Structure 1
Amino acid sequence: MIARQRFDDNPCRPRHFKPPPCRAIVPNGPTKQALEACRTRLLVTGALFALVFAVVALRVIEIVAVGGGTAESQIGRFRIVTAPVPSHADIVDRNGNVLAATLDSPSLYGNPKQIVDAAEAARKLVKVFPNLRAAEVYAKLTSGKSFVWIRRHLTPVEQYDVNQLGIPGLEFEHEERRVYPDAALTSHVIGYTGIDNAGFAGVERALDGVLKERREPLQLSLDLRLQYVLHEELQRVIDDFTAKGGAGLIMDVNTGEILAMTSLPDFDPNNPGAPDPGHPAVSLADRMFDRTTLGVYELGSIFKIFTVAMALDYGTATVTSTYDASHPIRIGRFTISDYHGKHRVLNVPEILMYSSNIGA
């Protein structure tokens, strides 16, 4: 057997050697003070965390036990959803059909100082926007400015295609676009807006300030159904007689409300400057001209109504009075005749029926 050796006699410790246990080290002085400070901080931090968890637990118990239901069912009470407010109110007809609305529309701009390869960026952008010229895009991207517009009012597909290009220095600006669901049907009444949504014609221009202040839709007296009928009938008559244009309106005689108003030719307010595919020969000025509100017309035979009304009112004529309209009447240098004369004696109702210039 191997005799048990002492640790002090032989530094090579055998496997069965068991060293004596060490005594605990008791810190003194600055070390002891530092440990006490750490212990205090840990206790305070733990107490704060315990307090926070206790408050949360009490609130959950209050919601579930006192308020009723589950915690998930109460989430909606504390969720605040703020929808963006459009800068212009919608325009609707008397039945609530939308005639004009404001939609979110991103616009593309560039920071030329961040564009690495302007020529490559211009080439890629022209593929996304074929109607842009590469030279103009390149000139913008090399202008040295911090902000240049590339394209206003993008469609979702166009925005996606630009994102796929991955060109640094191209960003999107949140904007709004005015849209008109019925296109040309109400173009002369509603009007249209510019690139910055400023009203340029019709209701959009006349009530531009009102539309900016309102949050509820602006309701007009128009009836979209009557507007469609009037538009179609007027277009049919213009096509049948090869007329240059026409205008018509429908009014409620009891209230004076305008139920329908149309002027042809018209335009698409979503793209006012675009040519009309159905009538390419019609100029933009003719399509933008509203014959119902801007046209000046000689009243002509409508004055016969006032002439007959005054004659009946003053007693100089009665409904049964007759007048010879068989021959033209010459007064001074002028000769009064009937366009479609009956060449006979006419009574007062017949003068209005046949629009007789001689009888009136």
Structure 2
Amino acid sequence: MMRMPALSSGLGLFSFRSKPKASGHIELKGERATYGQQSRSRILITILCFGVFYSVIGARLVQYGMESEETVSSIGPADKLMASRPDLIDRNGEVLATDIRTVSLYAEPNKIVDPDEAVERLVTVLPDLDVRTTYRKLSSSSRFQWLRRQLTPKQQSQILALGIPGIGFRPEKRRFYPGGSTAAYVVGHVNIDNKGIAGMEKYIEGQGLGDLAAAGLTVNESMEPVRLSIDLRVQSVVRDELAAAMQRYSAIAAGGVVLDIHTGEVIAMTSLPDYDPNNPVEALDKNRLNRMSAGTYEMGSTFKTFTIAMGLDSGLFNINDRIDARYPLVIGGRTIRDFHATRRILTIPEVFTHSSNIGSAKMADAVGIEGHREFLTRIGLLSRMQTELPEIAMPSQPHEWKKIHSMTASFGHGVATTPLQTAVAGAALMNGGKLIEPTFLPRTREEAEKTAIQVISKKTSDEMRILMRDNVVQGSGRRAEVDGFRVGGKTGTAEKVVNGRYSNSVRFNAFLATFPVDDPQYIVLVIIDEPKPEEGKYSATAGLNAAPMVNGIIRRSAAFLGVEPKFGNDASIARLSY
């Protein structure tokens, strides 16, 4: 009887303990479910992060794979060295200058194990390497030293094979001139850092390219080529004719220019001796000067062209007037004589064809000192010429103009100008009287008209064309005549100053020509410095050397310039083989 409560109590105890066991099981199961859910979430987030991370890396790798080598380079300082330049092309699209890829050799001296051994190995590939300077660089405490700029691919391969620690290569751009020296003074050249320092290379540097390069904005830019006014075919002809003339007449220098008289475009211009822009160190030679624009010379009797144009345009003379050239002029202790003395009264055309110093001096005297100086300034012969080419010299003239200065300047003594501006002034006499500044960039006739300045009347221009033609037909310019092209021109034989005095045995000769003279399109001017008599001849005047040079240039380049020859009274066209 008494065990029932105990049993009941035991049952009650059993029943009491069973409830907590069931509750704990439920709680444990809930905790595990929650923990499992969190784990799965973390795994998904981790997978997602890794997926995004590797997707970004993959995308960047694809992007880098599509970019140029310069863009993805990790070498910071090389960016500026890699700055590109636009190609320079001639008027027909022929490449005059372009960039090519190259590498330069550098060292990290702090990583060089044995400077002596490194120098010895490098000399086996670069035998002209300065051993002392290189050793000093490799032994320094600096982190970077240039050893050699712009290596060839073969040199790079051979140095790589040496396996020298602390030696590396940086990519660069090197300027390459396919035509070599053909258009050296027009195209110019760059320095070791690919920056333009001469010619049209320097011009485009000053048009903002240098600032872009300094800012690193030209590294990945595809730049449009810069088209020049030069015709490479005509340029080659001019240079070839000048080189042949220098040899034929044993001259120390020569130069030439072909100019479009209606646009002012320089079609060809060269000066000898010249240099190869691919090796610009040659340009440092004192004899390698762009004589056409950076040198000034007394242009001799070519100046009589401007003196007679001045006289006719002033209204003081007309083409039918006569001038007494029978007697020399004595002024200021100097005597003015004619080289080809006629000792008679000359018409204006005869003053021109006989190249009379006396006749020219009397015309200048009639116009007066101020009128003469004003005319030469108006036609651009006394001012610094404005054009893209950086190498432009300032003409020289007497500090104080007196009567003697005006009279001697009338035949080219006492005033020195650049040959290029002489050609530009000559173009103004032939194109209807408009002075057009020269350009080395393409320019249309309409664009030129906007800036052209009328400096003489059209009537005077027409009369000067007649005189230029007469001088080739029956004067000193006969050897410049090219059948079918009606050349007009004026010789200039100037005595050079030696030891403070004019020497009659040392000359600077020139020939100013235009063709076709009935409808002038081009001016051709050549100069030849200190020519000697050709074999078998006893004189070296401009008619004997400068005139034949013009003949060769016109004969060989007229077809390239699109000028068709005309023969006979019916002006029929004949085809020539060039």
> Is this a same-fold pair by TM over 0.5?
yes
Q: Which structure 2 residues correspond to residues 263-302 of structure 1 after superposition, within 5 A?
A: 263-274=271-282, 284-287=285-288, 289-302=289-302
Residues 129, 79 of structure 1: alpha-carbon distance in 2 compared, 3 angstrom cutoff: closer
Shift of 1:312: 2.9
Which range moves more in the overlay, 217-226 or 134-143? 134-143
The 2-side partners of 1:119 and 1:102 are apart by 36
Q: What is the aligned partner in structure 2 of residue 101 from structure 1?
A: 98
Is the aligned partner of 1:235 residue 2:243? yes
Measured after TM superposition, the shift of residue 38 of structure 1 is: 8.1
Residue number in structure 1 paired with 2:156: 159
- Does the residue aligned with 1:270 lie in a helix, a strand or coil? coil
* Superposed CA offset, 1:216-261 (max 9, x none): 1111101111111111111111112221112211100010001111
Q: What does the per-residue CA deviation read over 1:321-349, in whole Å, with 9 as the maximum and x for residues that have no partner?
A: 33343442334522221123344443221
- Superposed CA deviations along residues 136-163 of structure 1, whole A, max 9, x for unmatched, are 3222211122111111111111111111
Q: C-alpha separation between the residues in 1 aligned to 2:180 and 2:132?
A: 33
Distance 1:268 1:290 in 2: 13
Q: 2:201 aligns with which of 187, 199, 204?
A: 204
Q: Unmatched 5+ residue regions in structure 2?
A: 1-26, 48-62, 71-81, 213-217, 361-578
Partner residue, 2:333: 333
Give the TM-score, by structure 1 length: 0.72
Match of 1:257 in 2: 265
Question: What is the deviation of 1:171?
Answer: 0.8
* Structure 1, unpaired ranges of 5+: 1-28, 50-77, 276-282
Match of 2:67 among 82, 104, 109: 82
C-alpha spacing 1:307/1:284, structure 2 compared with 1 (3 Å): closer
1:206 to partner: Cα distance: 2.3
Letter in 2 for 1:346: L
Cα 1:98–1:86 shift into 2, 3 Å? farther
Normalized per residue, the structure richer in helix is: 2
Q: Residues 1-360 of structure 1 correspond to what in structure 2 (within 5 A)?
A: 81-83=66-68, 86-210=83-207, 211-212=209-210, 213=212, 215-274=223-282, 284-287=285-288, 289-360=289-360
Q: CA deviation at 1:307?
A: 3.0
Go from structure 1 to structure 2 and tell me whether the alpha carbon gap of 1:34 and 1:269 turns closer, same or farther (over 3 Å shift): farther
Whole-angstrom CA distance in 1 between matches of 2:164 and 2:314: 84
The 1:332/1:114 distance shift into structure 2, 3 A limit, reads closer
Deviation at 1:309, TM superposition (A): 2.6
Q: Does the C-alpha gap of structure 1 residues 149 and 323 become closer, same or farther in structure 2, counting only changes over 3 Å?
A: same
* Paired-residue identity, %: 41
CA distance in 2, matches of 1:147, 1:313: 69
C-alpha distance 331-139 of structure 1, shift in aligned 2 (>3 A): closer
Q: Quick one: distance in 2 between partners of 1:269 and 1:263?
A: 14
Superposition deviation, residue 106 in structure 1: 0.8
User: Which has the greater radius of gyration?
Assistant: 1
Q: Cα gap change, 1:182/1:314 in structure 2, threshold over 3 Å: closer, same or farther?
A: closer
Give the letter aligned to residue 98 of structure 2.
Answer: A
2:414 aligns with none
Give the equivalent residue in structure 2 for 1:23.
Answer: none
How much has 1:79 moved relative to structure 2? Answer: 10
Determine the C-alpha separation between the residues in 2 that align with 1:127 and 1:241. 46
Instruction: Tell me how far apart the structure 1 counterparts of residues 194 and 224 of structure 2 sit (CA, whole Å).
Output: 18
2:282 & 2:351 partners in 1: Cα distance? Answer: 48
CA distances 1:265-302 after superposition (whole Å, capped 9, x unpaired): 11111112249xxxxxxx81111x21112111224423
Contact 1:86/1:102 (<8 A) preserved: no
In the alignment, the residues of structure 2 paired with residue 183 and residue 307 of structure 1 have an alpha-carbon distance, to the nearest angstrom, of 40
Distance 2:282 2:331 in 1: 52
Shift in Å, 1:36: 11
Distance 1:43 1:314, change over 3 A: closer
Shift in Å, 1:93: 0.9
**Residues of 1 paired with 2:139 and 2:332: CA distance?**
77
Change (3 A) 1:310 1:132: closer
Q: Structure 1 CA distance, aligned partners of 2:87 and 2:335? A: 56
Letter in 2 for 1:254: H
| Partner amino acid, structure 2, of 1:295 | G
Q: What is the identity, as a one-letter code, of the residue corresponding to 2:286?
A: A
CA-based RMSD of the aligned residues comes to 3.6
Shift of 1:122: 0.7
Shift of 1:318: 3.2
TM-score, normalising length: structure 2: 0.47
